[in-house]
């Protein structure tokens, strides 16, 4: 049941960007801030200026941060690994992180549970696909965007938003899900239906159903 369409969209081009200039092909030394941005499924770009190059990370809603500031949660904290997975976040400046002097730590119920660089392998020199923790074919960051659970690949009950195309949470992707689009297509924007994350609900979102129709998921 594993579908990878979103995961695969960006990966081919970005791997080339991430390791460009390393001279070591696909196994080069990558910039941790670039890898972090990429592995969360966002768009990393290198910007040339008079003072040199820097990297930016662009999120689904089009907003952008400097990639290193994003890694440190000094910018775009609401798009961070922590936020995507339901945690709070803080930036620590005690120099105790091997990747960057200032670093982002996830916080759950007031307890620090780890730095984002522990959860995301930003030193991965063979850059794999972006994070899809539950392997339901939709990236963690995308699931956070539409409001489904990035840890759960299949709904347990009709209120359990777990698998993005399964709008009615019955474990099947079929016409019943597509019927739910009807009032939304002509009504106010509802992010739950924005399955290509472009800020609109329209026929482009319905396109993603083509390879998925008739498929289902199962709970353990």
CB of 133 to Ca ion, least distance (A): 6
Among 58, 79, 136, 217, binds Ca ion (CB under 5 A): 136
Among 15, 115, 132, 212, binds Ca ion (CB under 5 A): 132
Of the pair 28, 129, the CB lying nearest Ca ion is at 129
Largest CA distance in the chain: 55
Q: Which stretch binds Ca ion (CB under 5 A): 28-36, 56-64, 71-79, 128-136?
A: 128-136
Q: Is 70 helix (H, G, I), strand (E, B) or coil?
A: helix
198 binds Ca ion (CB under 5 A): yes
CB of 19 to Ca ion, least distance (A): 25
Of the pair 15, 173, the CB lying nearest Ca ion is at 173
**Buried b vs exposed e over 84-107: b needs ≥16 C-beta within 10 Å?**
bbebbbeebeeeebebbebbbbbe
Give the x-and-dash track for 151-190 against Ca ion (CB under 5 A).
Answer: -----------x---x-x-x-x----x-------------
The closest alpha carbon to 81, from 42, 29, 30, belongs to 42
CB of 157 to Ca ion, least distance (A): 12
**By rule CB under 5 A, what count of residues binds Ca ion?**
16
Of the pair 46, 178, the CB lying nearest Ca ion is at 178
**Rounded to an integer, what distance in angstroms lies between the CA atom of residue 150 and that of residue 170?**
17
The closest alpha carbon to 66, from 55, 76, 77, belongs to 55
Written as one string, the DSSP assignment of 6-24 is HHHHHHHHHHHHHHTTSSS
CB of 80 to Ca ion, least distance (A): 17
138 binds Ca ion (CB under 5 A): yes
196 binds Ca ion (CB under 5 A): yes
- CB of 7 within 8 A of CB of 41? yes
Written as one string, the DSSP assignment of 175-216 is HHHHHTHHHHHTSS--GGG-TT-SS--SHHHHHTTTTTTT-B
Query: 73 forms bridges with which residues in the sheet?
Result: none
Residues lying near Ca ion in the complex (CB under 5 A): 132, 134, 136, 138, 148, 162, 166, 168, 170, 172, 177, 194, 196, 198, 200, 205
């Amino acid at each position: 049941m594993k579908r990878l369409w979103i995961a695969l969209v960006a990966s081919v081009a970005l791997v080339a960007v991430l390791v460009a200039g390393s001279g070591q092909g696909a196994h080069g030394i990558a910039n941790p801030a670039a890898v972090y941005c990429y592995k969360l499924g966002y768009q990393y770009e290198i910007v040339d200026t008079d003072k040199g190059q820097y990297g930016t990370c662009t999120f689904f809603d089009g907003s952008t941060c400097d990639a290193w500031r994003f890694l440190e949660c000094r910018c775009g904290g609401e798009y961070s690994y922590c936020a995507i997975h339901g945690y709070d976040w803080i930036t620590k400046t005690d120099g105790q992180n091997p990747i960057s002097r200032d670093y982002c730590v996830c916080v759950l119920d007031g307890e620090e549970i780890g730095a984002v660089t522990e959860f995301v392998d930003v030193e991965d020199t063979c850059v794999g696909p972006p994070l899809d923790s539950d392997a339901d074919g939709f990236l963690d960051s995308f699931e956070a965007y539409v409001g489904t659970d990035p840890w759960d690949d299949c709904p347990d009950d009709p209120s359990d938003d777990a698998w993005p195309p399964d709008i009615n949470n019955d474990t099947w992707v079929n016409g019943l899900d597509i019927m739910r689009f009807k009032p939304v297509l002509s009504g106010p924007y509802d992010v739950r239906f924005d399955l290509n994350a472009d800020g609109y609900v329209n026929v482009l979102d319905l396109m993603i159903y083509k390879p998925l129709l008739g498929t289902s998921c199962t709970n353990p």
